[in-house]
Amino acid sequence: MKQLLFVFIGGGFGSVLRYIIAKYLNNQDHSIPVGTFTANILGSLLIGIIIGLAARNNTLSQNQTLLLATGFCGGFTTFSTFAYENHVLFKSGDFTSFALYTFASFIVAFLAVFAGMYLSRMLS
């Protein structure tokens, strides 16, 4: 039960922060949803750091990892919003933004996880 509480609390904080970022960065001036992209990339970097730290000499406890990686990063990043925003771009006929957003999100997110894992080595 205690572990569920850690995930719940972390997820709540992550979701609120994602909402704030999306509110201020997603706007009509950009065809690409910059807020969601930013949250997903930052979340990927953070989960790389968190999992990297957890794997090294037990720097983080299991409960800290649940709070931060599963909870916070899980609530902060969002695949469902990413998928919906791509649907909107595709349906509107903005194929360039659709392709750019899709490929940049996957490539940069993967690179961010690897960068986070690398940074975790420097932090421990």
* pLDDT score for 123: 85
For the segment 47-100, what is each residue's pLDDT rounded down to a tens digit?
999 999 998 878 899 999 999 999 999 999 999 999 999 999 999 999 999 999
Q: What percent of the chain stands above pLDDT 90?
A: 87
Whose CA is closest to 34, among 46, 22, 19?
Answer: 22
Backbone angles phi, psi at 64, to 5 degrees: -65, -40
Q: Residue 116 to residues 47, 65, 113: CA-CA distances in angstroms?
A: 7, 15, 5
- Tokens coding 92: 């509107």
